[in-house]
């Protein structure tokens, strides 16, 4: 039984008290979004605990944590989400709905549009409060869709006016059949948008996770961010099946029951430690489910490490070593063929925190030279893994930036990579500079596991053999920034640094 008291939730069965909000990652993990220099310098500063969370005197663009909170839960079946905000805050849900439909198709399901409602806060509600609109939205969501759960997302506006979402839920809960769940993700509270993951998972932990009926020793929770496609899940599932284990992929495209009974699993692991970090720790603390989330299972060595961590926690070390040996013997001859053709190509990677470690390791497996990495943020979640990457690949240009195209364009102009790897939205900047680009976030393509190395390497070979599109695009595109800026230090606007 869960008793609600303001913004604290008390589990009366266990006598524990859980807060409904989570400290932002700047405070909880000492996360930084601003760094420019070399990998060795970053490792040195982090090791000495001297890496300061700096800011920029000029910032071009970024996301807010509410958007990341929405993509965390928007694809869960039998739910509706309510955005308690001006209508513009829900505009990205049209894009998320496309991912939702595509994900359903790849899972053999009939595609359906995501279900969401905006309370459409205006200046009138900013003055008088939006309680009435929120109540109306909850009643309409329950009547129209009959969901098992309704997520209410806070926003900058509802946060600024001090809207007491918990109190509103207490008033309305008895009038609806769905469980109404607050998700605190006021965009202005954190410059580290990954804090939105934590707010979403806190709502899930407080309201959806049930006491285990009985533990299932062969069930493994796989925390799956939306940036991994079904083809990646199939590869991961194949490896787990060889160990006699079943995968419970949550939260994306899962049911509320699959999420609710994740407390019964023998272990929680992840396809992205950045995404799962808070949820996995809390699931262990509350329900004694151990977790393994050192690394993303992308690349040969990383997949080995991912499997070994699972094997160690479940007492399956021998079985894991057998699987690794079989898989290595199967894929390494093909990988050697790819290495001969890709050897020495210079690459630059820009990615979310965990992929900023995983993708460079995969590229190193294929014999490419890492000359630069940009991570969207940096903290203890990847500090050890980044040090291992620097030890493996040598020193390279390193940037920590929450999507700052003006810095990235400057860096690429100086580094001149043979290939640029980035997410969908930002790859266009490198393409306009004439660099061959490859996306590291495509739900239809395979990246994970041993087969992912071969799949990714084959695509790179095609890209290198056909670079004409990007070259012609650069010839017909106007310069993105002035030549004077490209001659500047790319980290000129980092506060607290004396830069030339």
For the chain, the distance separating the N- and C-terminal CA atoms, rounded to the nearest angstrom, is: 60
Q: Which of 271, 294, 320 is the last residue of a domain?
A: 320
Residue 426: CB atoms within 10 A of its CB come to 20
Q: What whole-number distance in Å separates Cα of residue 354 and Cα of residue 498?
A: 30
User: Could you give the angle at the alpha carbon of 20 between the alpha carbons of 14 and 24, nearest 5°?
Assistant: 125
> Chain-wide mean pLDDT for the chain?
91
Is residue 399 classed as helix, strand or coil in its secondary structure?
A: strand
H-state helical runs in 288-348: 300-314, 317-342
Distances (CA, A) of 187 to 154, 194, 205, 237, 487: 9, 11, 21, 35, 34
pLDDT at 13 over 50: no
The DSSP element (H or E) to which 81 belongs, if any, is strand 79-83
Is residue 324 classed as helix, strand or coil in its secondary structure?
A: helix
Q: Does 231 map to a domain?
A: yes
Same domain, 276 and 398: no
DSSP code per residue over 5-48: ETTEEEETTTTEEEESS---HHHHS--BSEEEEEHHHHHHHHHT
pLDDT at 16 over 90: no
Query: What whole-number percentage of the chain has pLDDT above 70?
Result: 96
Question: Is 33:402 a contact under the CB 8 Å cutoff?
Answer: yes
Q: What values do phi and psi take at 54, rounded to 5? A: -95, 175
pLDDT the model gives residue 20: 83
Q: Does 385 map to a domain?
A: yes
pLDDT at 3 over 70: no
Same domain, 377 and 465: yes
Same domain, 283 and 391: no
Q: What whole-number distance in Å separates Cα of residue 347 and Cα of residue 367?
A: 11
Same domain, 301 and 392: no
Q: Does 438 map to a domain?
A: yes
Residues with Cβ within 8 Å of residue 448, at least 6 apart in sequence: 228, 232, 235, 236, 271, 297, 298, 303
Question: Is 114:241 a contact under the CB 8 Å cutoff?
Answer: no
Question: Is 436:412 a contact under the CB 8 Å cutoff?
Answer: no
Q: What sign for the dihedral angle of Cα 382, 383, 386, 391?
A: negative
Same domain, 371 and 461: yes
> What CATH number does the domain containing 281 carry?
3.40.50.1980
pLDDT at 9 over 60: no
Domain count, the chain: 2
Q: What mean pLDDT comes out for the span 417-434? A: 87
Same domain, 372 and 311: no
Q: What whole-number distance in Å separates Cα of residue 388 and Cα of residue 368?
A: 17
Q: Residue 290's domain spans which residues?
A: 216-320
Same domain, 374 and 423: yes
Same domain, 418 and 458: yes
Q: In the structure, what pLDDT confidence band is assigned to residue 17 with cuts at 50, 70 and 90?
A: low
Q: Does 240 map to a domain?
A: yes
Q: What mean pLDDT comes out for the span 238-250? A: 97
Query: Tens digit of pLDDT for each residue in 18-48?
Result: 788 899 999 999 999 999 999 999 999 999 9
Helices (H) and strands (E) in the chain, counts: 21, 17
DSSP code per residue over 223-287: EE-TTS-HHHHHHHHHHHHTTT-EEEEEETT--HHHHHGGGGEEEEEES-HHHHHHHHHHHHHHH
pLDDT at 239 over 80: yes
Q: Which of 285, 320, 355 is the last residue of a domain?
A: 320
Q: What whole-number distance in Å separates Cα of residue 186 and Cα of residue 198?
A: 12
Nearest to residue 363, comparing CAs of 451, 279, 456, 439?
456
Half-sphere exposure of residue 86: CA atoms within 13 angstroms, side-chain side = 10
Question: Is 181:154 a contact under the CB 8 Å cutoff?
Answer: no
Q: Does 198 map to a domain?
A: no
Q: What sign for the dihedral angle of Cα 145, 94, 117, 3?
A: positive
Query: Tens digit of pLDDT for each residue in 309-339?
Result: 999 999 999 999 999 999 999 999 999 999 9
Question: Is 266:218 a contact under the CB 8 Å cutoff?
Answer: yes
Query: Tens digit of pLDDT for each residue in 462-471?
Result: 888 887 887 8
Q: Does 439 map to a domain?
A: yes
Q: What mean pLDDT comes out for the span 95-116? A: 90
Same domain, 310 and 342: no
pLDDT the model gives residue 10: 44
Q: In the structure, what pLDDT confidence band is assigned to residue 1 with cuts at 50, 70 and 90?
A: very low
DSSP code per residue over 126-171: HHH-SHHHHHHHHHHHHHHH--SEEEEE--HHHHHTT--HHHHHHH
Same domain, 383 and 302: no
Query: Tens digit of pLDDT for each residue in 50-72?
Result: 888 788 999 987 888 898 999 99
Q: Does 100 map to a domain?
A: no
Nearest to residue 385, comparing CAs of 458, 307, 301?
301
- Tokens 């013997």 correspond to 329
Q: What mean pLDDT comes out for the span 229-236? A: 96
Same domain, 278 and 242: yes
Q: Does 102 map to a domain?
A: no
Q: What whole-number distance in Å separates Cα of residue 157 and Cα of residue 130?
A: 10
Q: What is the 3-state secondary structure of 189-211?
A: HCCCCCHHHHHHHHHHHHHCCCC
pLDDT at 498 over 60: no
pLDDT the model gives residue 440: 86
Residue 322: CB atoms within 10 A of its CB come to 13
**Least trusted range by pLDDT, from 73-77, 420-424, 493-497:** 493-497
H-state helical runs in 366-439: 383-393, 405-415, 424-432
Q: What mean pLDDT comes out for the span 185-189? A: 88
Q: What whole-number distance in Å separates Cα of residue 380 and Cα of residue 378?
A: 7
Q: What mean pLDDT comes out for the span 413-420? A: 94
Question: Is 102:228 a contact under the CB 8 Å cutoff?
Answer: no
Q: Which of 320, 343, 369 is the last residue of a domain?
A: 320
Query: Tens digit of pLDDT for each residue in 340-349?
Result: 999 889 999 9
pLDDT the model gives residue 401: 94
Same domain, 352 and 454: yes
Q: What values do phi and psi take at 60, rounded to 5? A: -90, -45
């Amino acid at each position: 039984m869960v008793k609600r008291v303001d913004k604290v939730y008390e589990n009366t069965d266990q006598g524990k008290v859980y807060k409904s909000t989570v400290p932002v990652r700047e405070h909880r993990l000492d996360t930084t979004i601003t760094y420019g220099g070399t990998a060795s310098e970053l490792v040195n500063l982090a090791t000495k605990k001297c890496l300061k969370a700096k800011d920029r005197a000029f910032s071009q663009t970024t996301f807010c944590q509410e958007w990341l909170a929405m993509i965390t839960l928007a694809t869960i079946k039998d739910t509706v989400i309510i955005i308690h905000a001006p209508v513009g805050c829900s505009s990205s849900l049209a894009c998320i709905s496309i991912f939702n439909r595509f994900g359903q198709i790849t899972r053999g399901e009939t595609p359906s549009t995501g279900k969401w409602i905006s309370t459409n806060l205006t200046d009138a509600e900013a003055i008088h409060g939006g309680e009435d609109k929120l109540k109306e939205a909850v009643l309409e969501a329950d009547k129209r869709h009959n969901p098992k759960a309704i997520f209410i997302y806070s926003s900058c506006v509802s946060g600024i006016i001090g809207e007491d979402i918990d109190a509103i839920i207490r008033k309305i809960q008895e009038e609806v059949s769905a469980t109404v769940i607050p998700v605190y993700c006021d965009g202005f509270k954190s410059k580290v948008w990954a804090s939105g993951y934590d707010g979403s998972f806190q709502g899930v932990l407080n309201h959806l996770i049930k006491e285990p009926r009985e533990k299932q020793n062969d069930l493994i929770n796989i925390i799956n961010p939306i940036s991994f496609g079904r083809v990646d899940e199939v590869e991961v599932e194949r490896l787990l099946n060889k160990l006699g284990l079943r995968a419970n992929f949550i939260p994306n495209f899962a049911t509320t029951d699959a999420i609710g009974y994740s407390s019964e699993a023998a272990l929680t692991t992840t396809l992205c430690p950045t995404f799962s970090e808070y949820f996995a720790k809390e699931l262990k603390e509350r329900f004694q489910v151990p977790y393994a989330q050192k690394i993303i299972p992308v690349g040969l060595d990383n997949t080995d490490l991912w499997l070994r961590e699972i094997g160690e926690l479940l007492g399956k070390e021998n079985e894991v070593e057998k699987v690794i040996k079989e898989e290595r013997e199967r894929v390494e001859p093909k990988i050697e063929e790819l290495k001969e053709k890709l050897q020495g190509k210079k690459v630059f990677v820009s990615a979310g925190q965990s992929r900023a470690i995983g993708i460079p390791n995969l590229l190193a497996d294929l014999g490419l030279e890492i000359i630069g990495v940009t991570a969207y943020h940096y903290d203890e979640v990847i500090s050890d893994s980044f040090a291992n990457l620097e030890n493996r690949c040598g020193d390279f240009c390193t940037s920590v930036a929450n999507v700052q195209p003006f810095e990235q364009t400057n860096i690429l102009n100086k580094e001149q990579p043979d290939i640029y790897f980035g997410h969908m939205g930002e790859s266009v900047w490198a393409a306009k500079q004439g660099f061959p680009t490859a996306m590291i976030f495509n739900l239809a393509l395979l990246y994970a596991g041993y087969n992912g190395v071969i799949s990714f390497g084959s695509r790179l070979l095609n890209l290198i053999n056909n670079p004409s599109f990007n070259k012609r695009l650069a010839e017909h595109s106007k310069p993105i920034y002035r030549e004077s800026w490209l001659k500047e230090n790319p980290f000129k606007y980092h506060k607290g640094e004396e830069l030339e």
